[in-house]
Amino acid sequence: MTTDLVVDSYSTENTPDGTLTKIRLKDKLYPFYVDVNYLTYKDKDVIETWTEINHNEKNGVTLTQFSSGYLPVDEVMYGYPAFTGRGQMRHASWKNRSHRE
């Protein structure tokens, strides 16, 4: 199965932390949905993003290939840190973001 996703809906809501924008994508043929979330924080130059995938198929769905998007930011110019899943701070490197830690 290959997905052909189109925008189904979108919403924006204010949260205590900032503004949450959710874009719901739906496959043209299958009951398969991808929610792309963006949370922009108040008084901070931070955008948090995550993806939620769900479906209404009768049986399970296995993901074998998928792509990811990122915001290309020059780490030297902006000098931002990143936190790994282990809670350790390190200097972020976007070229290595596709690798799991």
**Structure tokens given for 78:** 């902006």
Number of domains in the chain: 2
Of 23, 27, 91, the closest CA to residue 63 belongs to 27
pLDDT in tens, 62-73: 888 877 666 666
State the Cα angle at 39 between 89 and 62, rounded to 5°: 85
CA distances from 41 to 17, 22, 48, 94 (A): 6, 15, 8, 21
| C-alpha radius of gyration, the chain, whole number | 16
User: Are residues 37 and 84 both part of a single domain?
Assistant: no
Q: Is residue 39 part of a domain?
A: yes
User: Are residues 6 and 53 both part of a single domain?
Assistant: yes
Give me the domain span that covers residue 76. Answer: 71-101
pLDDT in tens, 11-51: 999 999 899 999 999 999 999 999 999 999 998 888 888 88
